[in-house]
Amino acid sequence: MTRPETSPYATVLDDRQLTGRPIVLAGAGPLGGDVEVPEPLVTGAKKWKDVDQDICLHTEQFPTRRWWIAFAVALSMVGVLGFALASLFYSGMGIAGVNQPVGWGSFIINFVFWIGIGHAGTLISAVLYLFRQQWRTGINRAAEAMTLFAVACAGIFPIIHLGRPWFAYWLVPYPNARGPLWVNFNSPLAWDIFAISTYGLVSLTFWYMGLLPDLATVRDRATHPWRRHLYNALSFGWTGSHRAWRHYESAYLILAAFATPLVFSVHTIVSFDFATSVMPGWHATIFPPYFVIGAIFSGFAMVITLMSIMRGVFNLKHYITLNHMEAMAKVLLLTGMLVGFAYSTEFFMAWYSGSEWEGFVFKNRAFGPYGWAYAIMFTCNVFVPQLFWWKSLRRHPVVLFVVSVLVNVGMYFERYVIVVTSLHRDFLPSSWGMYHFTFWDYAILIGSFGLFFTLFLLFVRVLPVVAISEVKGVMDPRVARSAPPGRQVAPLGAGEVRP
Amino acid sequence: MSASSTSGVIGYFLEPSEALAAAAKTRDAGWKHFDFLTPFPIHGMEEAMGQRPSWIPYVTAVLAFIGILLAQALQNYVMVYDWPLNFGGKPHASWPSFVPITFEAMVFWAAIGTAIVAIVAGRVDSVPQPPPLLVKTGATVDRFVLWISATDPEWDAGEAVEFVRSLGAHGVELVEAGGKTHA
């Protein structure tokens, strides 16, 4: 069957022409019936070489004033982090809010929060790759970068939670002069070390594998010889050879296949930190799936937040279309309901178990002194995403942004509720207490956001924020080719490739 | 220009479908040291170029087993022989609690090792390439570039140019050893 020479995608120019529904080609079928094709993933009738220009441009020109302002703000927040950490190390844990009975406080909350954020990137890259969801190509690069930076932020917190962070290397099992004194491999805290470091390194590898062809694209556009040599070295001299693509594709598929269970394992192991203890409210078999779903939920919300900004600031609306945003909103709706289901299951089990302690903890969690935190959590995570039942709201940029921010507020409070409410009512009423953030807890939390945004702002300056080679692969060649059929093209002599 | 200073010939195509057809014809014409440089991987190109599927998965399987064995060895050595502690009378070799680290070690070895092997294999298990810093092929932009290397056992510059032209390439260029190109 010969294909028609004109593409239905040539006329889809921007978001306003996207409906989120298939395009119907009347009478285009082999027997004269209608044919439905999905809407294009890239709008604006872009050509392949336009993709390079649109995406690499931000790495090639001097940053805008807006970027400098954002960077200055983020960097000063990193300064706050540095100051707070220095004070903490100098004075000791006493300046933070943790005390008896709440011995796990803001550091563990922040750790679980950031690790949760760090789940969406690899999920989008790996799981959606295995499921052949082609819309991932527009957002996977930035989402993976977000993952790396979130894991970097998360990694700080277990170390400062140790109290004596200069002994952090004791967590690594190696033959030593202390006995040898080994870590206890029965402990979930030891599993955590392996899980988080493996996750960080495998995510980095996966991200870098995806970057290789794009680094070569940046190299071929570069004018300065240093820049060309630098990006050539970074891309390991990538030429686009199909003999290399053959191994590359195979390795990428394998990485995705290994990263998928890895994503699920990491937050499962984080939940073991809680679930293997005997605290009422933590000692629950639902914790692994509950944590994993929460992580996907918060990670996708953060991706929506960042993409809402990036689409506008970097003019990426042709590559990250409203259809992409709607797809993510659907994930948010689904995972939001699953999280709500988990909250309800916890309550059911507290009642059904007949355990007095469990029953008390959950009644206290929802209606006790921290009832306000529980109310924020439940509203933001379960009620607010219900807005996405309406298609018009799933496709509304402002609604998407606001809901995604609220979801992450809710998810922060989820971790707050889990950590604090189980601890503040000890088994003996004489040991009961309350937990308050001090100035330093706030400073470190704000500082971790500063670190995250600083790294992200640097990333958008030096690397392509959209996976160029993958986006090119999902474009219609009839629209994207460099010259119309039948026309000859000029040969590219040395140095002529630059636009 | 002598034949020895030529490193190969390139021909431009503008679409994956053209590239696939050209690759199949090049394969059938008996060229061995040829390659297609493309902005993104093309489905079916391995077959069109007459290549077998990648052997990377076998490497991954070996690496995954290495990871499993190392993690099991470490945990059992520490918990059973070197530092046996009594945790409430539970067995020293409590295998269920060794599962998470074993899994993570398997993923670590398999994933990182696969990526390194794949990047090296892309360079080693290949034919000599046009040097990317000297020759602008446009293969990272929007061209699908057929490359026949002068190392091919049947190499003849004139014949190669004629052959690439006969495939309907949109442009044909000879590449000299120093990276200079001419149509």
Contact A14, A43 (CB under 8 A): yes
Helices (H), A314-420: 322-352, 356-367, 371-378, 391-394, 397-416
Average pLDDT over residues A418-437: 91
Contact A143, A478 (CB under 8 A): no
Report residue B51's pLDDT band, with 50, 70 and 90 as the boundaries: confident
Delimit the domains of chain A by residue range.
8-480
Which residue among B56, B100, B126 sits closest to A195, beta carbon to beta carbon?
Answer: B100
CB-CB neighbors (< 8 A) of A490 in chain B: 171
Q: Which residues contact A255 (CB under 8 A, 6 or more apart)?
A: A126, A202, A205, A206, A209, B111, B114, B115
Q: Tell me the CA distances in angstroms from A215 to A61, A259, B144, one per residue in order.
A: 17, 23, 18
As for the ipTM of the complex, it is 0.91
In terms of C-beta density within 10 A (0-12 exposed, 13-18 middle, 19 or more buried), how is residue A359 classed?
middle
| Tokens of residue A283, six digits | 């000692």
CB-CB neighbors (< 8 A) of B139 in chain A: 239-240
Contact A333, A389 (CB under 8 A): yes
What is the least distance, in Å, from the CA of A365 to any CA of chain B? 31
Per cent of chain B over pLDDT 90 is 27
pLDDT of residue B138: 82
Kind of pairing between the strands at A23-25 and A35-37? antiparallel
Name which of A242, A249, A478 to mutate to probe chain B: the one with the most chain B Cβ atoms within 10 A of its Cβ. Answer: A242
pLDDT of residue B53: 86
Report residue A32's pLDDT band, with 50, 70 and 90 as the boundaries: confident
pLDDT in tens, A312-360: 888 888 899 899 999 999 999 999 999 999 999 999 999 998 988 899 9
Name which of A254, A264, A479 to mutate to probe chain B: the one with the most chain B Cβ atoms within 10 A of its Cβ. Answer: A254
Q: Tell me the CA distances in angstroms from A203 to A123, A138, A408, one per residue in order.
A: 10, 18, 22
Query: Three-state DSSP class for B149?
Result: strand
Is the minimum CB–CB distance between A217 and chain B shorter than 8 Å?
yes
CB-CB neighbors (< 8 A) of B137 in chain A: 239-240, 492
Among A467-471, B34-38, B72-76, the range of highest mean pLDDT:
B72-76
pLDDT of residue A480: 82
Average pLDDT over residues A257-281: 91
Integer Cα distance of A218 and B162 in angstroms: 33
Per cent of chain A over pLDDT 90 is 51
**Using the beta-carbon criterion (under 8 Å), do B104 and A191 form an inter-chain contact?**
yes
Q: What is the pTM of this model?
A: 0.91
pLDDT in tens, A193-218: 999 999 999 999 999 999 999 999 99
DSSP letters for B33-95: SEEEE-SS--TTHHHHTT-PPPSHHHHHHHHHHHHHHHHHHHHHIIIIIIS---STT--SS-G
Question: What's chain A's average pLDDT?
Answer: 88
CB-CB neighbors (< 8 A) of A206 in chain B: 111, 115
CB-CB neighbors (< 8 A) of B46 in chain A: 242, 246
CB-CB neighbors (< 8 A) of A242 in chain B: 23, 35-38, 41-42, 45-46, 49
List all residues of chain A from 227 to 256 with a beta carbon under 8 Å from chain B: 228-229, 232, 236-251, 254-255
**Using the beta-carbon criterion (under 8 Å), do A492 and B143 form an inter-chain contact?**
yes
pLDDT in tens, A116-144: 998 888 888 888 888 888 888 888 888 99
What is the enclosing helix (H) or strand (E) of A226?
helix A225-234
Delimit the domains of chain B by residue range.
3-53+129-182, 56-124
Contact A101, A433 (CB under 8 A): yes
Does residue A454 surpass a pLDDT of 70?
yes
**Using the beta-carbon criterion (under 8 Å), do B133 and A228 form an inter-chain contact?**
yes
Contact A186, A180 (CB under 8 A): no
CB-CB neighbors (< 8 A) of A469 in chain B: 39-40
Count the Cβ atoms, other than its own, within 10 Å of residue A440: 21
Q: Tell me the CA distances in angstroms from A260 to A129, B8, B174, one per residue in order.
A: 10, 42, 45
Name which of B68, B140, B145 to mutate to probe chain A: the one with the most chain A Cβ atoms within 10 A of its Cβ. Answer: B140
| Tokens of residue A82, six digits | 């540095």
Name which of A246, A263, A468 to mutate to probe chain B: the one with the most chain B Cβ atoms within 10 A of its Cβ. Answer: A246
